[in-house]
Structure 1
Amino acid sequence: MTISLSFVFAIGFIFIHFFSKAMKFIKDSPRSRFLSIAGGIAVSYVFIHLLPELSKHQRVLEQAGAKGVFHLFENHAYLIALLGLTIFYGLERMVKNSKKESGMKKTKPGVFWIHITSFFVYNALIGYLLIRETYKSHWGMFFYFLAMAVHFVTNDHSLRKDHKEIYDHLGRWLLTLAILLGWVVGVFTELKEVYISLLTAFLAGGIILNVLKEELPEERESSFVAFFLGLVSYSVLLLLI
C-alpha cells in the first residue's frame, strides 16, 4: 500500500512539472497570492515537521559518530541544514550575477547546467524521501506530498523566470526525471538511517532558502497575509494529525 500510494504521489509531482507552465494566474509582480500561500505551506512543513525531526536525526548521528567519518557530524544535524541553505544561496547569487553580467534576462548556458543539476539532485532527494521517509500514517505522506507539490510550483516559476525557454524545453524534463529516479531508487534501495538523517537535514535547509528567496525581495510585492494564511492553516493541519 505504501509503495502504491507513494507512486501515485510521485506521478502527482510529475504532473505539476508538466502543467505548471499552464497556470496563467501565477505572476511575479505583484506576486501571485497562490505563490505566497505555497511559500507559507512549505515553511510550515519545515518548521513543524522537518526541523523537529532533526532532533531524532541528531541522535542517529550521535550514535554513528563513534565510527568512521561520521564523528565529524556528531553534533551537527543543524549544521547540515545550514549547509543546504548556504549552497542554494550561493547558487541563487550565481544566477543573479550571470544575468547581470550578460545584460540579458536569462542566464548563461554554463550557469543553467550548474543550476539545473543542483535542482535535479534536490528533486531526486524529494522523490526518494517520498517513499523512504518515516510517516506516522498515510496522512503524513499526503501532507509531505502537499507541501512539496506547492513548493514545486514555486520552484518551477522561479526557474522558468531565470532560464526562459531552455527551462521549458529541457530543464523541466530533467527535473521530472529526477523525481521518478529518486522514487525508483527508494523502492529498490534503502539507505542506512544515518544517511537519511543527513539528506533530510540538507533538504530542510534547501527548502527554507528556496522559499524565502522568493518571498523576501521587496520588488516581488509579496502578500504577507497570503503567506501567513498558508503557514497557519497548514500548521494547524500538521498539528492535528
Structure 2
Amino acid sequence: MEHHVSIWPVLVLAFIHFFGIQLRFLAGVPRSVWLSVAGGVSVAYVFLHLFPELSEGQEHVSQLNWAEQFLSHHVYLMSLVGLAVFYGLERVVVEEKYRQRQAPRKEQPHQQGIFWLHIGSFAIYNALIGYILFQREEGTLQSLLLFSIAMALHFIVNDFGLQEHHHDSYRRIGRWVLVAALVVGWGVGYVVALPEALVVLVMAFVGGGVILNVLKEELPEERESRYWAFMLGAGLYAILLLSL
C-alpha cells in the first residue's frame, strides 16, 4: 500500500528545537504558566490517547514468542522502563551539578561526559518520537495532529529544562543534535518498517519518558510551578481528546 508522506509535522517539531528557547517570556522563576500548561497537555495526551492505544496493541506484543512467558504486561513494563531511565538520567545530572558547585575547579572533563550522556539519551528519545511521527502518517490526520501538538509542547518543556542544565552548550550543540535525531528517526520510518509489536513497545517507552520529563520540571520547589496551570492544560486537552 502506498504511503503518502507529509514532511510538515517533522519540520514543525524541528522548528520547535531551533527556536523554542528564544521564547524568553517562558524563562525565569516562578515557572511560566505556559510551560505548565504545555506539560499538562503532554501528560493528558499520554494517559488519554497513547495508553489506550497501547492497550489495544498489547495483543501484538503477546505474539512475540520470546516474551510470552516473561511478563503478561509487556507494554506497561516498557512505559515503566522509559520513566525509570529518564529518572535515572535526571538524578545523574542533578548530582553532578551539585558536585560542581562543591568543587568547581575540576569540572570540565566530567561535565562534558555528563552533557553528552544527557543529550545522547534525549537524542535517542527524539529519534523514537520521530519514528512514531512517521508511523502516525499512516493513520488519520486527526491522530497525527493530536500527537504533533502534544509533542511540540513537550519539546518546549524539554528545551527549557535542558537549557537550564547545560546553558550555552545546549544552545550551541545540544539542540542541533536533538533536531538531527528527530529527523533521522523520521527518516528511518521512511525506509524501515518495524513489526507492529516493536512499534507498540517504542510508543510505550516514549509514553513513560514523557510523564517523567514533564513531572521533573513541574515538581521541584524552586521552580515555583503553578499547579492550576498544569491542571488547566491537562483538563482542556483531556476534554478535547474525550470529545473526539
**What is the TM-score with the length of structure 2 in the denominator?**
0.92
Query: Which residue identity lines up with residue 150 of structure 2 in the other structure?
Result: A
Q: Which residues in structure 2 correspond to 1:210-221 (within 5 Å)?
A: 210-221=213-224
Match of 1:88 in 2: 86
User: Which of the residues 117, 139, 144 maps onto 1:114?
Assistant: 117
CA deviations over 1:178-231 (Å, ceiling 9, x no partner): 111011111111100111111111111100000000111121111112111111
Match of 1:15 in 2: 15
**What is the TM-score with the length of structure 1 in the denominator?**
0.93
C-alpha distance in 2 between matches for 1:2 and 1:236 = 31
Q: CA RMSD in A?
A: 2.0
3-state SS of paired residue (2:31): coil
C-alpha distance in 1 between matches for 2:228 and 2:138 = 30
CA contact (8 A) 2:37 2:232 kept: yes
Instruction: Tell me the CA shift for residue 126 of structure 1.
Output: 0.6
CA contact (8 A) 1:3 1:131 kept: no
C-alpha distance in 2 between matches for 1:17 and 1:218 = 26
C-alpha distance in 2 between matches for 1:75 and 1:234 = 27
CA contact (8 A) 1:37 1:226 kept: yes
Q: Aligned in 2, Cα 1:55/1:134: closer, same or farther, shift over 3 Å? A: farther
C-alpha distance in 2 between matches for 1:149 and 1:135 = 19
Instruction: Tell me the CA shift for residue 232 of structure 1.
Output: 1.0
Range with bigger deviation, 148-157 or 227-236:
227-236
CA deviations over 1:137-178 (Å, ceiling 9, x no partner): 201101100000010001000001101111111110000001
Query: Which residue identity lines up with residue 32 of structure 1 in the other structure?
Result: S
C-alpha distance in 2 between matches for 1:131 and 1:182 = 8
CA contact (8 A) 1:61 1:73 kept: no
CA contact (8 A) 2:17 2:179 kept: yes
| Percent identity over paired residues | 44
Instruction: Tell me the CA shift for residue 74 of structure 1.
Output: 3.9
C-alpha distance in 1 between matches for 2:99 and 2:34 = 32
Q: Aligned in 2, Cα 1:128/1:210: closer, same or farther, shift over 3 Å? A: same
CA contact (8 A) 1:124 1:182 kept: yes
Q: Paired residues, what number? A: 238
Match of 2:167 in 1: 164
Q: Aligned in 2, Cα 1:150/1:110: closer, same or farther, shift over 3 Å? A: same
CA contact (8 A) 1:3 1:187 kept: no
CA deviations over 1:12-61 (Å, ceiling 9, x no partner): 01111111121011124100001000010000001001111221222111
CA contact (8 A) 1:61 1:74 kept: no
User: Which of the residues 195, 202, 206 maps onto 2:205?
Assistant: 202
CA deviations over 1:98-147 (Å, ceiling 9, x no partner): 10011169981100111111000000111110011477520110110000
CA deviations over 1:53-77 (Å, ceiling 9, x no partner): 221222111122xx23564354331
Match of 1:174 in 2: 177
Match of 1:54 in 2: 54
